[in-house]
A and B are shown apart, each in its own frame.
Chain A
């Protein structure tokens, strides 16, 4: 469609004139400027909502909101064209079959070997080995081969040595969606571990011997502590309400040697609302400081971030300082559980703070343990809480089918763009766990404009400290090489000089 205008979000009076293209996989806007012909590409699956606004004198406005918070406002001259584009985008943004997803047709011209290499980059069995497993206390179990026990769990996972197949199967029958307690992270230093599951089907009074034995097995797998924590990441009221539906939480009286703890994090619907409200604040035109702060508070977003952080810190401390294992669950064990386990792992283990380690963490805690990315904005929440720990650029969507190209390979190849120039493997901050303060520190949670206003270039700091430091480091590397070369030359010069004297 020709003569389309792309409105500048920061200065609405400015609009670039160009042509809009719709392909099978992308929406592309190409500016008419003769020399640059700047292009804006949007993947169909990036599109979250499309809104057709009231026709004005200048044309028909179309507002595209993307999952990465980018907002594209187009003005299409003819109403008929606008409608066509609108209908097409609605259809294209919601693929009916997996095969329609872009990742299946994306062809960056790698050969089969390179493609497979990308997928092998993340090898979870290597990761468990790095943790020190298997060992005297934990073993690899194939009880879930072919997904016969739980269809949303990985086929290979780690369980306590004393957990027989009988116990595991019995426990799985007592857990929502059969998601029995399994290992998320093993802390070599003191044998404590983080395990995860879904809620027990305990109702008001139901018991299950195998499930109780499962928790005992977890406790026994840690000789350093005579109890385990069971952390329910739901608000107490919600957990209690679940009892009426035949689910619920662990009763300390029935399970020997557990200390039960609620750490209330709101559920996905509340969080989705919260994110929605916050994005509305971001979309405000020329808000006052009060509008912004009030809107931010009203959304409750930072409150959620803090709740997740508090939970992660509690678990990390339980493991590293008390040496006690923790079993974490929410309702289904794939939302809040994943967030909280990831945060705790990041605090405990410096390996997850490296680029590769972080990719492994996502693969382990989110992908292999079955997070539903189609409905995902929870990864966003985790990432938001991670920004507090250290700055990191991460992609926001994942593909998990082996017929596509691995995102990890792409990230890894371009890793220079994602590195933190201040990282030093030998620094005290990279040894062992990070100690975050637990004293009230509400002021530390700040709005992540780099994520939520990423595309509003005017709002970001204009000069990037990171870019500057990366450039300095690159130059340093070149200087080191040159220094080495020069020193060799000088050395040879002296040798020749010496020989000439004779």
Chain B
């Protein structure tokens, strides 16, 4: 009980990041490394159809959104206020990603509050229609099954009806609700810790946890989203119920598939900033206890861990396409649950501002982005490419992430040695290349010197 009390302090300001003093020199302040205006440049340089809106700068319109969001240029702030009243938690549709190749976009939001009366909001319709080119259709990906979406109406929620959104086709791709994911994690960790000798029991326990099923579901939906954008050439809107869990998994994974920048270290950090931290995923509630919570932590769920696991699956299938290695993902997992840095504290930007995290705590990125740390987290096999990468979601292609779940049950000594050997092979090659280049230059210089007429 004491441990529980110590590890989930009600008062966030008593947590370690507020007392931590860095023992390293801060070269770049992580709190200002990924500013929304800078991120917006990447889109505004290609198109003028979007604008930054400061309507939420006091967090009055949507408490879980950041102060600055990207919306279609033709929609003014007044309209946004109206749309916010029609969406769960005030989360009106905003831009998540702009696909330079064809100008298609991913938007995300909360569910529309149609209720049982079939309420509609003209401003909402106008907003999302504004993202479509003339004569083109878009897709709405609802991360709830049709049944669940229909039942939501009884509680005031609902989905976009065809009659009101004729230019949009709705697809339901169910991803489990967050509390189910928590049960899954608990069962999986139990299975991993069990000392039974029996192979069959292991497989049936793994299957019963459904963890890999969730991975498959999430990756499939992300692939679908990416396909709409890249293959179909259509814009999409993604939402579930609140738009703070499965929605974010799908938007961020779709970007990993579509955009090479998200696979670089800085690009991935920017992705986490945008699609998880600023987008308002409730880290404080979701990552309080992990798998061993005794008390009924009803908001606890491994949503972010599942996302990292999906990234790892893609990394495993495309080992040369990511600038970071597995250790980077493991590091992020750990810091999301317990950290000396303030990055993952709080549930949204509003709370982070109130807590004055930027002033009172250190950002994780300040520490990670130092060359001495980065060198351990960089993937030696990385070769930058411009590809859209499509992961396989066949069961044979998905594996249990041993680096997280079996980390303490087995020695990684031999795998570490294999990794070291791989790094050595690649570094030695680079050294040789450098030596050869120097010699070539020297010889070229020697040959142009006076007195060197004949070649030996």
A468 adjacent to B202 (CB under 8 Å)? no
The listed residue with most A CB atoms (<10 A of its CB), out of B321, B394, B421, B435, is B394
Interface residues in B186-209 by Cβ distance below 8 A to A read 192, 195-204, 206-207
Q: Report if B446 contacts A (CB, 8 A).
A: yes
Q: Report if A296 contacts B (CB, 8 A).
A: yes
A463-B320 contact in complex given A289-B212, A293-B203, C-beta closer than 8 Å: yes
Contact with B along A260-301 (1 / 0, CB 8 A): 000000000000000000000010000111111110110010
Q: Report if B284 contacts A (CB, 8 A).
A: no
B439 adjacent to A483 (CB under 8 Å)? yes
The listed residue with most B CB atoms (<10 A of its CB), out of A303, A461, A482, is A461
Complex CA gap A291/B392 in Å reads 17
Interface residues in A442-489 by Cβ distance below 8 A to B read 442-447, 449, 452-453, 456, 458-463, 465, 468-469, 472-473, 475-476, 479-480, 482-483, 486-487, 489
Nearest-neighbor residue (CB-CB) of B385 within chain A? A463
Q: How many residues of A are in contact with the other chain, CB < 8 A?
A: 62
Q: How many whole Å from B432's CB to the nearest CB in chain A? A: 4
A463-B394 contact in complex given A429-B417, A468-B381, A492-B456, C-beta closer than 8 Å: no
Q: Report if A306 contacts B (CB, 8 A).
A: yes
Nearest-neighbor residue (CB-CB) of A302 within chain B? B199
Nearest-neighbor residue (CB-CB) of B451 within chain A? A500
Q: Report if A490 contacts B (CB, 8 A).
A: yes
Point out the residues of chain A lying under 8 angstroms from B399, CB to CB: 446
Q: Report if A34 contacts B (CB, 8 A).
A: no
Point out the residues of chain A lying under 8 angstroms from B210, CB to CB: 289-290
| Stretch in B20-28, B53-61, B423-431 touching the partner | B423-431
Complex CA gap A442/B191 in Å reads 11
Among B207, B398, B446, point to the contact of A297 (Cβ < 8 A): B207
The listed residue with most B CB atoms (<10 A of its CB), out of A300, A428, A447, A462, is A462
Nearest-neighbor residue (CB-CB) of B198 within chain A? A442
Q: Report if B422 contacts A (CB, 8 A).
A: yes
Main secondary structure, interface of B, reads helix
Interface residues in A407-464 by Cβ distance below 8 A to B read 421-422, 424, 427-429, 437, 439-447, 449, 452-453, 456, 458-463
B422 adjacent to A422 (CB under 8 Å)? yes
Among B394, B433, B439, B451, point to the contact of A459 (Cβ < 8 A): B394
B429 adjacent to A493 (CB under 8 Å)? no
Point out the residues of chain A lying under 8 angstroms from B443, CB to CB: 486, 489-490, 493
Q: How many whole Å from B418's CB to the nearest CB in chain A? A: 5
Complex CA gap A452/B192 in Å reads 26
Q: Report if B11 contacts A (CB, 8 A).
A: no
Interface residues in B365-396 by Cβ distance below 8 A to A read 381, 389, 392, 394-396
Point out the residues of chain A lying under 8 angstroms from B200, CB to CB: 297, 300, 303
Point out the residues of chain B lying under 8 angstroms from A289, CB to CB: 207, 210, 212-213, 215-216, 395, 398
Nearest-neighbor residue (CB-CB) of B195 within chain A? A440
Q: How many whole Å from B87's CB to the nearest CB in chain A? A: 33
Q: How many whole Å from A466's CB to the nearest CB in chain B? A: 10
B206 adjacent to A458 (CB under 8 Å)? no
Q: How many whole Å from A287's CB to the nearest CB in chain B? A: 6
Point out the residues of chain B lying under 8 angstroms from A476, CB to CB: 425, 428-429, 432
A462-B395 contact in complex given A472-B429, A490-B442, C-beta closer than 8 Å: no
Point out the residues of chain A lying under 8 angstroms from B103, CB to CB: none
Point out the residues of chain B lying under 8 angstroms from A489, CB to CB: 443, 456
A424 adjacent to B410 (CB under 8 Å)? no
Point out the residues of chain A lying under 8 angstroms from B435, CB to CB: 483
B395 adjacent to A465 (CB under 8 Å)? no
Point out the residues of chain A lying under 8 angstroms from B199, CB to CB: 302-303, 306, 442, 445
A486 adjacent to B397 (CB under 8 Å)? no
Point out the residues of chain B lying under 8 angstroms from A472, CB to CB: 425-426, 429
Complex CA gap A302/B321 in Å reads 32
Q: Report if B122 contacts A (CB, 8 A).
A: no
B397 adjacent to A459 (CB under 8 Å)? yes
Point out the residues of chain B lying under 8 angstroms from A492, CB to CB: 456
Nearest-neighbor residue (CB-CB) of B419 within chain A? A422
Point out the residues of chain B lying under 8 angstroms from A493, CB to CB: 443, 446, 452, 456
Point out the residues of chain B lying under 8 angstroms from A292, CB to CB: 395-396
Among A300, A443, A487, point to the contact of B406 (Cβ < 8 A): A443
A495-B192 contact in complex given A282-B396, A287-B395, C-beta closer than 8 Å: no
B454 adjacent to A440 (CB under 8 Å)? no
Point out the residues of chain B lying under 8 angstroms from A442, CB to CB: 196-199, 201-203
Point out the residues of chain B lying under 8 angstroms from A487, CB to CB: 439
Complex CA gap A469/B426 in Å reads 8
Q: How many whole Å from B382's CB to the nearest CB in chain A? A: 10
A458 adjacent to B394 (CB under 8 Å)? yes
Q: Report if B335 contacts A (CB, 8 A).
A: no
21 cross-chain CB contacts under 8 A:
A287-B394, A288-B395, A289-B216, A293-B204, A293-B212, A302-B203, A303-B200, A422-B425, A429-B414, A440-B195, A440-B197, A442-B203, A453-B394, A456-B394, A462-B389, A463-B320, A468-B319, A476-B428, A490-B446, A496-B452, A496-B456
Q: Which 7 A-B pairs have the closest CB atoms?
A: A292-B395, A492-B456, A442-B202, A297-B203, A293-B207, A479-B432, A289-B213
